[in-house]
Structure formats: C-alpha cells, structure tokens
Chain A
Amino acid sequence: MTFIDKFPTEAKLVRWHFGVGFVALAIGGLFGLVQALYRTGHLRSLLPINAAQYYTVLTGHGVLLALVFTTFLICGFFVWAVTRSLDRPLSHPRLVWTGFISMVVGTTLAAITILNGFAPELPFGSANVLYTFYPPLQAHPAFYVGAALLIVGSWIVGADYFLTYRAWRADNPDKRIPLQTFMVLATFVMWYLSSAGVAVEVVAFLIPWSMGWISQVDPLLTRTLFWYFGHPVVYFWLLPAYLAWYTILPKLAGGKLFSDPLARVVFVLFVLLSTPVGFHHQYTDPGIAEGFKFIAMTNTFMLLLPSLLTAFTVVASLEHGARQRGGSGYIGWLRALPWGKPSFSAMALAGLVFAAGGFSGMINAGMNINYLIHNTIWVPGHFHLTVGTAFALTMMGVAYWLVPQITGKRLQHRTLAAIQPFVWVIGMTLMSNAMHRGGLAGLPRRTAKPLFRGEGAAPFDPVVGTISEMQLQIAIGGTLLFVSLALFLAVMVGTWLSRPGMGRLSVNGSIPSALSGPADSPRILDNLKVWTAIAVVLVIIAYGLPLYGMLADGVLAPGSPGFPV
C-alpha cells in the first residue's frame, strides 16, 4: 500500500514541507548562478546587480539554501521516516502544522528583509548580513525574528516525533526502536542541544539590540554562540542524508543494510560529539585560548570515526546489493548497480562526493593547517561538496523515490531525471576543484570581486593552474549546477502536476531489514537519555570555561553598537 493511501495526513505534511523547500531551492539556486558569474567576472555586465548587491545575493543564497531548504526538507523527510518505521500516524499532526506555519512565516519575514537589498520599497529594512549574520553588522529586526521563527518551528515539528514515539512505546514496551525512528530522534536530540546556541544569540542579544532595547552586544560572544550551533547544523544536514544512505540506498541497490547496530553506534557518536566542536570554526579568532581550540579539534577528529564507519557500511551494503543483482569481481560489481535509476545514482554519487568533502574537511579541522585556508574560497569549495552535494543531491534522490509515494503520481520526465545527478556531479567537480585550488592560492571567499586593484600584478600565486582559468572553471561549474537544478525542478513540477493514476507507481516504500539486526546489539544503544546526558557533559567541558571567560567581563562587553547593512 502506498504511503499516501495509508497515511494521507502525513503525506500531505511531507508534500507541503517539500514544496516550500523546493521553492527555496529554486530561488537560492538562481542566486547561486548569479554569484558564480558575477564573482568570476563572466557575463558580469549582463547581470542586473552591482557589487554591493552581490552581498544581497550571497545572503539570499546562504539563507535560502543552507537554512530554509535544508530545514524544510529535513522536517518533511523525518515525518515520513517516523510514520513509516513506526507504522502508525503521527500523534499530533496539528503540532506539526503549527511548526510548519511558524517556519513559513519566519522564512517570509527573513526573505522580505533580504530582498530589500534589491527593492528598498519593500516593508521592513535590509539584511545584507550573510547567513552567518555576525554582529556588529546589523540587519532589520524582522530578519532575526524570522530566523528565530524558523528554528522554533523546527523544534515544534520535532516535538511530535518524540510524542509519536512515546505513543508507540506505550503500545510496544519491549521492542527495539525501529532504526529510522532512532535516527530521527538522535538527530533531533543533537538539534535541540545545538540550536539552543543560535536561539540564545538571536533572542537574547540580536533582537533586543536591533530593536534598540540594548545598545551593544559582544561580537566575540555572539560569534561563539553562532558557531556553537554552526557546526552541529552541518550534522543536522548530514544525518538525514545518512538516514537515506543507511536505510533507502541499500534497498535501491537491490540489497540490504549491512549492520543495524553499527548504524545506531554511528548516530550515538554524532549525538555525543557534534556540538562540542564549534571552536574549530574559530581557530583564527582572538580572545579564545589555544587549549579550548585544541579540545574542539580533538572532538572534531573523533567525528571522523562515525563518518568512516558510514563509508564502510554504505559501500558494503552497495556491494551486497550489487552481488544480489549478479555483480562480480573486485571492482566489477560496481557495474551491476542501477546507475540509470535517478534515486540510486543521486544518492550514490552524493556519497562518493561526500568522501572527497570529508578529506578537505580534515584539512579544515587541522588547527594550524587551517590558517592557510581559513576564509579562503577553499571553504565554500569544501561545503559545496558536503551540504551542497552530500545533502542536496541525496535529498534530490530521496525526492525521486519519495515524491511518487506522497503524491500517488508516477515520476515524470524520467530521462531528464536520469541525467540530472550526473550533471550535478560534473558541475560540482569543476566548481569545487577550482575553489579548492584558488583557496590554496589565498583567494578569499565572500567577496564580490576577489582580484586585487592597483598593484597591477595579481598577488595570487597558484600552485596548479592560473587564477583566470579557475574563474572560468567556477563559472562553468556553477552554470552546470544550475542546469542540473533546473532539470530536477522540471521533473518535480512535471510529476506534481501530472494526473494521478498515469501508470502504476514504479516504486514501493518497503525497506528490507538489515543483514545484522538490532537484536544483536546492547539495549543501552537505544537509551537516548543516557547519551543526551553525556553529550551535555561534553558540551560543558568544551564550552564552560571559555563562555565563562567571555561573560565574566560583562555580558555585553566589550560591546559594539550596530552597523546596519
């Protein structure tokens, strides 16, 4: 029985979350194309923006894709995962609708302030603060209120995952938590713990400050609160992709998950270690002792463990699936995988690209190596492999498989869908490769025009290639990514608008159980209370002293007044 027939309310919730997410994806993706062309100087004169508005585009790209698209997709995807794996409807769907509306209102407020950069006649004021909104750059209060409503909305949606789980537990006192629900709950434990940081930053400091109720904020303290959230948020993006790789991808490959217990171990490690790592974004910050940065670095490197375990399990599951399909040989089994199935190829390619992103992440994480690439274009080169591909492309793969199940409509434009993931990977390879090389040469990120004025000679001295060749490669890569995005949206819109019953659905939602099931693992793995408590202790160890140091000289001091942009 299809998901939409069995759980119509939940299917509608997933549809709405995905729908809003895809609108954000379309606008944010268009902004990305504008950036790639403007920044690299290709077709710059044809673009309807000036250099100052580049930062409006950049803010919109970051907020709409990294915060809005991700959060809506995750909340919708998890509604499906909880409902399907517990095999029961949500306990309080109205709560989820409330959270959804809060997120939509928040997104709208923030979007209006961002678009003010193009059209000052819009209500409120501007918010050219980028998605990190570091004070003392100051946005209109509506931007901060919007951000808070987005975060709080996701908390409300998440509450129903736990309430639904509790209802299930009452009926099933002795069963193991189904794997997908376990993953959802673990992800949200981490999300509640870490997003509290940005919530405090926004609600306690930035909203009162932008309203004029307090005259100053401490830039280092607010930055630290941001990054307390800003690294775990990448695991908030990544863990849903892991959920897809662990539970959906093996089935699409024709096999089964290798090991259920190790999947649980991986998610527990993320609950423990995701949050006490934020200082690795602040290696080059003054005012934070090197010892605290070192603790964050150690935790960060320990996080390699669950990701490397994931790489093993996912590849092993794929190989198992390929051999079930008749594949053979050391490498030859790869040919037996269903590369023509877009849901499979998107997820599998996303996983491969994530491996590359993981390696550049190890460079970022190295406390002193980081100084070479901090805030260079290397960094966006890195995270376009992770959130920009590991998350985004995986979710596109999920959509190819799930949207038919939540709409009851067959996937349309299947050839376009089959092409799309490959175009994405080619575009991303071109763009990200050039960004990494440019970063090694010191090319900064977040600038409308990265080349030096005056001096005549560009001071950048690349080891491989030339700056102008990299700029061209970035422009071509960004254009291919936009083409790929347009293909994806065409498939989605075509499917959504098609009449139901146009042929039998070619997917089914059943997921085979793991080769090694949960019964093999200790029950303590499922005890999220214990893991939450340990995670809190680790956070206190990593953040207690440095936060105390920042607060001790006055909560608002040394304080800066606002600089509206």
Chain B
Amino acid sequence: MADSDTDNTDDGVPRRWLIRALVGIGFGIPVVIEGGTLVGLLKSGLFGDGDGDDAATITGPTATTSGPPPVGTGDDLLAASARSATLSDATVHAATDGWRFALTVAVENTGDRPYELRLGTVTTQNGSRVDGTAATDRLGVGESATLSATYALPDGETPATMTIVGVDYVDGGGERLTRHTVRFGNVPVKR
C-alpha cells in the first residue's frame, strides 16, 4: 500500500535482535527505576512514621559529621582553650574580580603566658586550600588585639574550615604551638 513506509525491508536477523534488546531495556529500565521509587514511597508511607524522619537513617554518611560544632559571628574560636578569640566578622565578598573571604577576630590573652595567634590555611567547601599569613603580635597577659585577614578564594567557593595556630611563649624562650581546626557555619556571601 502506498501510504506505508518501507523502512523495515532491510531488517536482518541481527537487527531484529537489536530492536528486541532495545525495546527490552528501553522499557525495562524505566519500569525498574520508577517501580523502585514507587515501592520506596509506599514503604515510607505505610511503614515509616509518615513525616519522613525515618528516612534520615538511610541518608548515608552526609547526614552525620563528626568534629567540633560550626562557628559563626560572635562565637569563640578557642572555646576549648584558656584563650579567647571571638569571630567578630566573617563575610565572603563576591566581587567581579574574584571572591574574597574577609574575617576579623578579636583576640584576648586570657591565659597566664604571653601568646600569639596565627591564622592559617582556609579550606573551601570544594577542598581548595588557600594559605594565610595573618598573625597577632606577641600579646602579654591580659592584652588584646584585633586580627583581620583576607583570603582570595577561587571564584564561587566558600570557606569550610580554617586552621589556627596558638603560640605559647614558655619561660626560657621556647614556643609551644597548638593547632586548632575551626569549622565555619553559614558565612554570608555578599556582593
């Protein structure tokens, strides 16, 4: 008949098997994927407690993280030690010529020895590392200082952690270094 195309005249046996395989997986994979989702939804709806919280148990390793609690503006970076270093400002500036992470830390030597604080490497959420060099002067007991630092981040990245090093000047001219890793909470990104 004139109105039927003659596409199939060259169908050989291998081609027929190819088509069967295509139809098989072309329908099979969607049925498996969507069926699996349906079963998952039904399970969660029928056997879960209904509000989805039970699913938290299957969210895998991303759901739980160990380590210190994240810090934000106003928090003490050295909460675990005798010294105090308050994060007074932390902002990422998304400028057209690059992203910069600027932070200000108010350091107070509440210990009983001279002290110095150094801000070290910032690691971004993507794992890029940016070194820093900012450090306070040697602070006598009871002295305080304000430390500001700026890190040039790769475009589009935000800080995740920062290492800070505390330096205790022990009697007799020696130094004792203590390394902390600070985990940032929400650092606002601004234009």
B133 within 8 A of A: no
Q: Does any Cβ of B come within 8 Å of A268's Cβ?
A: no
- For A456, give its contact among B23, B55, B155, B183 (CB under 8 Å): B183
Instruction: Report if A429 contacts B (CB, 8 A).
Output: yes
Asked whether A51 and B62 contact (CB < 8 A) given A251-B3, A465-B40, the answer is no
CB proximity of B153 to chain A, nearest CB, Å: 11
Most A-side CB within 10 Å, residue of B4, B8, B40? B4
Residues from chain B with a CB closer than 8 A to the CB of A164 are none
Closest Cβ of chain B to A42, distance in Å, is 13
User: B34 to chain A: closest CB distance in Å?
Assistant: 6
Within residues 1 to 23 of chain B, which ones have a CB less than 8 A from any CB in chain A?
A: 2-11, 15-16, 18-19, 22-23
B residues 36-87 in Cβ contact with A at 8 Å: 36-37, 40-41, 44, 48, 52-53, 55-56, 58-60, 62-65, 67, 70
**Chain A interface, number of residues (Cβ within 8 angstroms):** 53
| Segment of A98-106, A195-203, A291-299, A418-426 engaged in the interface with chain B | A418-426
Tell me, yes or no, whether A131 is within 8 Å of chain B by CB.
no
Stretch among A180-188, A235-243, A507-515, A553-561 lining the B interface:
A507-515
**Given A429-B30, A433-B33, A506-B7: A466 and B156 within 8 A (CB)?**
no
Cβ-closest chain A residue relative to B26: A422
Q: Would you call A467 and B183 a contact (CB within 8 A)?
A: no
* CB <8 Å contact, A457 and B158: no
Contacts of A458 in B (CB 8 A): 59, 62-63
Contact A433 B64 (CB under 8 A): no
B136-162 vs A, CB cutoff 8 Å, 1 = contact: the mask equals 000000000000000000111110100
- CB of A425 within 8 A of CB of B30, answer yes
Asked whether any CB of chain B lies closer than 8 Å to the CB of A171, the reply is no
The residue that B187 contacts in the complex, of A54, A338, A419, A453, with Cβ under 8 A, is A453
The answer to whether B44 touches A463 (Cβ under 8 A) is yes
Is A429 touching B33 in the complex (CB atoms < 8 A)? yes
CB distance from A43 to the nearest CB of B (A): 13
Contact with A along B103-141 (1 / 0, CB 8 A): 000000000000000000000011000000000000000
Contacts known (A339-B22, A426-B25, A506-B7); A463 close to B40, Cβ less than 8 A? yes
Report how many residues on chain B are interfacial, defined by Cβ distance under 8 Å. 55
Chain A, residue nearest B62 (CB):
A458
In the complex, the answer to whether A418 meets B19 with C-beta atoms within 8 Å is yes
Contact of A461 among B8, B25, B59 (CB under 8 A): B59
Of A44, A340, A401, A455, the most chain B CB neighbours within 10 A belong to: A340
CB distance from B92 to the nearest CB of A (A): 10
Bound together, the chains give a CA A469 to CA B44 distance in angstroms of: 18
Given contacts A461-B53, A510-B2, contact A422 B65 (CB under 8 A): no
The A405-431 residues at the B interface (CB cut-off 8 A) are: 414-415, 418-419, 421-422, 425-426, 429-430
A213 to B183, CA, bound (A): 48
B62-A466 in contact (CB<8A) = yes
Q: Which A residues between 327 and 358 are near B, CB-CB below 8 angstroms?
A: 338-341, 343, 349, 356
Partner of A463, one of B2, B6, B55: B55
Interface residues of A in 495-509 (CB under 8 A from B): 506-508
Per the bound structure, the CA–CA distance linking A52 and B153 in Å amounts to: 13
**Cβ contact within 8 Å between A463 and B41:** yes
Chain B nearest CB from A564 CB (Å) reads 10
Say whether A468 faces chain B, with CB atoms less than 8 Å apart: yes
Residues of A with C-beta under 8 A to B178? none
Known A52-B156, A251-B3, A462-B55; contact A457-B26, beta-carbon cutoff 8 A:
no
Which of A415, A421, A426, A510 gathers most chain B CB within 10 Å? A426
Could you say which residues of chain B place their CB within 8 Å of the CB of A340?
A: 7-8, 11, 15-16, 18-19
A52 vs B97: C-alpha distance when bound (angstroms): 12
Q: How far is the CA of A422 from the CA of B52 in the complex (A)?
A: 34
Complex CA gap A430/B31 in Å reads 11
- Complex formed: what's the CA distance from A456 to B34 in Å? 31
A17 within 8 A of B: no
Q: Does A125 contact B (CB under 8 A)?
A: no
From A52, A453, A466, A512, contact of B160 by CB (8 A)? A453
- A302: interface (CB < 8 Å): no
A464 at the binding interface (Cβ < 8 Å): yes
Task: Chain B residues near A511: list those with CB within 8 A.
Answer: 3
| Assembled-state Cα–Cα distance A419/B25 (Å) | 11
Residues of B within 8 Å of A9, CB to CB, are none
A51's partner among B6, B18, B48, B157 (CB-CB below 8 A) is B157
Contact of A341 among B8, B33, B58, B186 (CB under 8 A): B8
- A252 on interface, CB distance cutoff 8 Å: yes
Take A426-B30, A433-B33, A437-B37 as given contacts and tell me if A461 and B158 are in contact as well, using a CB distance cutoff of 8 Å. Answer: no
Q: Which residue of B lies closest to A473 (CB)?
A: B33
Nearest Cβ on chain A to B75's Cβ, whole angstroms: 12
Q: Which residues of chain A from 469 to 511 have a CB within 8 Å of any chain B CB?
A: 469, 506-508, 510-511
State how many angstroms separate the Cβ of B137 from the closest Cβ of chain A.
31
On whether the beta carbons of A457 and B63 are closer than 8 Å, the reply is yes
Cβ A422 vs Cβ B44 within 8 A:
no
What residue of chain A has the Cβ atom nearest to residue B184's Cβ? A454
Q: Identify which of B6, B62, B125 gathers the most chain A CB atoms within 10 Å of its CB.
A: B62
Distance, CA A10 to CA B49, complexed state (A): 63
Residues of B within 8 A of A368 (CB): none
From the candidates A254, A422, A425, A466, name the one contacting B58 in the complex (CB within 8 A): A466
Using a CB–CB distance below 8 Å, which chain B residues touch chain A?
2-11, 15-16, 18-19, 22-23, 25-26, 29-30, 33-34, 36-37, 40-41, 44, 48, 52-53, 55-56, 58-60, 62-65, 67, 70, 94, 125-126, 154-158, 160, 183-187
Q: Top 3 nearest A-B pairs by Cβ distance?
A: A51-B156, A464-B40, A456-B65
A and B contact pairs by CB, cutoff 8 A, 13 listed: A338-B7, A339-B22, A340-B7, A418-B22, A419-B18, A433-B37, A449-B156, A454-B70, A454-B184, A455-B185, A455-B186, A465-B40, A512-B3
